[in-house]
């Protein structure tokens, strides 16, 4: 209800108008750029009472959003979502900012395809050549650092929930498997030998146990699940995040070689088969920053991300060795270690170009990098196990491995 009294004064004096507004019920009003906005029902009533011409515009299908009705953007269709201007401050930067036409876009979903490469394991000579003239070891024929994997496409899914105070909860899952690497040495009679200190304590080479061929295959698999809380910093151009994360890195190395000896009689041919499987379960916490590097929110821009955390690694390894010959003879032995547990570190970096393609859809492309240390890796176990025909099985767990995954990310972000 409004009560107004207008006073007229003589010419030359200033007119004074006193307006008393007595709201009945609850009228929502808040500052909105160049005017004051009410909710839809009160805005319509105020417009009709103060300006019949604007009321006529409403009859044509428009509803006022701002006090300054002279601007084109002060009107919208009555079926559009109700945008409470009191929530205007929720449009802020971050991974889950409310960036649609209204302030009710509180959910964000991202789906990315990661094109990843993994680094090769640390240097460790596995097989060496044999010099036939001197019957001694020559150069390295196969090193662990040659086991580079092919590119792998991995999905990454993220779901974020943001309130209008800028607080965000995030859940992200990554699955990458299997990274695959395969190396084969060409057939060469008595041309190869195991490199010192051997494989699981086995030394095959000159003068009478040289090898003819060898193969190695390395597989790897990654899973990651994280939950983070985000909070806006620095005029909403940066988000600080803190949360918990679980990562699993499983890796398997399989190697085999063949041999043939004509002397002493009778001739003997056979194969050696080696297999080591390592598993790493990392549990810990992380902190990080998600920042706006270039551009503005709602426009084409570049975002940067950095995370780091300390983890408890419940790691283990299983190694097995099988020896078989013709005439028939078979030997097999294995060893397993599951401790002690170790500490690990995980760091993640990213740089993403964001291109809006609709009012609530963005295309995202950029760089992704993940660094893990303190891992159990198969090639690091070859010198720490004893699996021979004369010794009892024994060994220790080595957790000094390092893994780097990096590549490109392509995906879409939707908000509602």
Domain match, 113 and 75 both: no
The domain tally of the chain equals 2
- What is the rounded CA–CA span in Å between residue 390 and residue 396? 19
- Tally of CB atoms within 10 A around 372: 22
| Secondary element (H or E) of residue 53 | helix 52-59
193 domain-assigned: yes
- Does any domain span residue 198? yes
Q: What is the pLDDT of residues 319-336, one digit of tens each?
A: 999 999 988 899 999 999
Q: Residue 413 — φ and ψ, nearest 5°?
A: -125, 130
DSSP 235: T
**By the 8 A CB rule, do 190 and 130 touch?**
yes
Both tokens of 37, joined, read: 């906005």
**pLDDT value, residue 222:** 97
Per the domain annotation, does 96 fall within a domain?
no
Backbone φ, ψ for residue 39 (5° rounding): -75, 175
Does a structural domain hold residue 98?
A: no
Q: Pick out the chain residues at pLDDT < 70.
A: 1-105
Query: Are residues 150 and 39 located together in one domain of the fold?
Result: no
CA distance linking residue 297 with residue 91, whole number of Å: 9
Domain finish residue from 63, 80, 97:
80
Instruction: Identify the pLDDT of residue 402.
Output: 95
In a domain, 324, yes or no: yes
Paired residues of 253 in beta bridges: 218, 276
The residue behind tokens 């920053």 is: 289
CA pair distance 7, 236, nearest whole angstrom: 48
Question: What does the pLDDT read at residue 341?
Answer: 83
Q: Say yes or no: 18 and 123 in one domain.
A: no
The string of pLDDT tens digits covering residues 42-51 is 444 444 544 5
In this prediction, residue 234 carries a pLDDT of 77
* CB-based contacts of 117, cutoff 8 Å, min separation 6: 148, 149, 151, 152, 405, 406, 407
Distance between CA 325 and CA 270 in Å, rounded? 4
**Do 56 and 161 belong together in one domain?**
no
3-state secondary structure of 171: strand
- Is 330 strand, coil or helix? strand
Full domain range(s) for residue 390:
107-415
Any domain includes 99? no
Residues 120 and 165 in one domain: yes
Same domain, 196 and 318: yes
Mark which of 80, 98, 131 sits at the end of a domain.
80
Last residue of a domain, one of 80, 115, 148: 80
Q: Give the pLDDT score at 84.
A: 44
C-alpha distance across the termini of the chain, in Å: 37
Does 71 share its domain with 214? Answer: no
Q: What is the pLDDT of residue 192?
A: 95
What is the pLDDT at residue 351? 97
| Same domain as 58, residue 121 | no
Residues 119 and 42 in one domain: no
Tell me, yes or no, whether 181 and 61 share the same domain: no
Question: Is residue 243 included in any domain, yes or no?
Answer: yes
pLDDT at 51: 52
Are 130 and 272 contained in the same domain? Answer: yes
Would you state the pLDDT for residue 105? 57
Same domain for 117 and 68?
no
Domain presence at residue 111? yes
Place of tokens 């999905």: 155
Q: What is the pLDDT of residue 104?
A: 53
CATH (domain of 346): 2.40.128
């Amino acid at each position: 209800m409004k009560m107004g009294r207008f006073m007229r004064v003589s010419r030359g004096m200033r007119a004074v108008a006193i307006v008393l507004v007595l709201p009945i019920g609850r009228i929502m009003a808040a500052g909105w750029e160049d005017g004051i906005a009410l909710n839809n029902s009160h805005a319509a009533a105020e417009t009709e009472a103060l300006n019949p011409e604007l009321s006529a515009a409403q009859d044509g299908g428009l509803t006022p959003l701002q006090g300054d009705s002279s601007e084109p953007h002060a009107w919208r269709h009555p079926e559009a979502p109700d945008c409470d201007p009191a929530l205007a401050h929720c449009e802020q930067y971050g991974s889950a900012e409310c960036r649609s036409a209204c302030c009710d876009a509180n959910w964000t979903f991202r789906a990315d395809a990661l094109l990843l490469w993994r680094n090769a394991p640390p240097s460790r000579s596995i097989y060496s050549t044999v010099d036939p003239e001197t019957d001694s070891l020559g150069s390295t024929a196969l090193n662990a650092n040659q086991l580079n994997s092919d590119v792998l496409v991995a999905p990454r899914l993220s779901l974020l929930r943001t309130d209008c105070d800028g607080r965000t909860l995030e859940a992200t899952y990554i699955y990458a498997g299997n990274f695959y690497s395969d190396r084969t040495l060409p057939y060469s009679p008595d041309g190869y030998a195991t490199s010192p200190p051997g494989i699981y304590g086995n030394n095959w080479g000159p003068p009478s146990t040289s090898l003819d061929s060898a193969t190695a295959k390395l597989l790897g698999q990654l899973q990651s699940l994280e939950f983070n809380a985000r909070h806006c910093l620095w005029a909403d151009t940066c988000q600080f995040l803190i949360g918990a994360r679980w990562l699993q890195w499983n890796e398997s190395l399989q190697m085999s070689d063949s041999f043939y000896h004509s002397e002493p009689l009778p001739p003997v041919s056979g194969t050696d088969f080696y297999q080591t499987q390592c598993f790493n379960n990392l549990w810990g916490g992380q902190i990080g920053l998600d920042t706006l590097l270039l551009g503005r929110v709602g426009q084409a821009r570049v975002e940067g991300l950095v995370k780091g955390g300390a983890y408890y690694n419940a790691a283990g390894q299983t190694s097995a060795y099988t020896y078989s010959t013709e005439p028939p003879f078979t030997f097999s032995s294995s060893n397993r270690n599951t401790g002690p547990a170790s500490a690990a570190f995980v760091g993640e970096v990213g740089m993403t170009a964001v291109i809006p393609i609709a009012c609530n859809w963005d295309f995202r492309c950029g760089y992704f990098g993940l660094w893990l240390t303190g891992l159990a890796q198969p090639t690091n176990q070859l010198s720490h196990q004893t699996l021979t025909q004369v010794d009892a099985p024994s060994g220790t767990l080595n957790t000094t491995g390092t893994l780097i995954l990096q590549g490109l990310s392509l995906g879409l972000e939707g908000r509602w």
